[in-house]
Amino acid sequence: MESALISVVPDRLCTPVCSGCDESVRSLHSKSMRWVRDLRFGSHEVLLEVTQRRLRCATCRGIRTERLDFVAPHSRVTNRLAHYIAGRSRMISSRPTRPSRSLMS
Ligand SMILES: [Zn+2]
């Protein structure tokens, strides 16, 4: 199976939002990389290489990561891939099942 690696970098014009308190924070501490799986694109598996900013949040009084709309903190899959998997799981678990032969006799 082929795969695609997509780099996701923060837009410098957008002020990051603290993941702890949802306040906009202008003081940056550092950047880190994380890798997140996304929905397939055709036959390609998609992996996002995300640059995530760490912030000095005055409200939280500490270092926090910025909130990202497309992935939950510490998750290794995007929100839309998580929703897709959850939907498939519900569909599979709600399918009627045949009683086993041992229960029918
Ligand atoms: Zn905060």
How far does residue 30's CA lie from ligand 1's centre (Å)?
15
The whole-angstrom separation of Cα 56 and Cα 41 is 36
Domain count, the chain: 1
How far does residue 70's CA lie from ligand 1's centre (Å)?
19
3-state secondary structure at position 9: coil
3-state secondary structure at position 3: strand
Look at residue 16 in the predicted model and tell me its pLDDT. Answer: 96
In a domain, 52, yes or no: yes
How far does residue 50's CA lie from ligand 1's centre (Å)?
21
In a domain, 37, yes or no: yes
Give the sign of the dihedral formed by CA 19, CA 20, CA 26, CA 27: negative
Phi, psi of 64 (to 5 degrees): -130, 160
The whole-angstrom separation of Cα 37 and Cα 4 is 10
Confidence of residue 105 (pLDDT cuts 50, 70, 90): very low
In a domain, 70, yes or no: yes
The predicted-structure confidence for 20-48, as pLDDT tens digits, reads as follows 999 999 999 999 999 999 999 999 999 99
Domain span at residue 12? 3-93
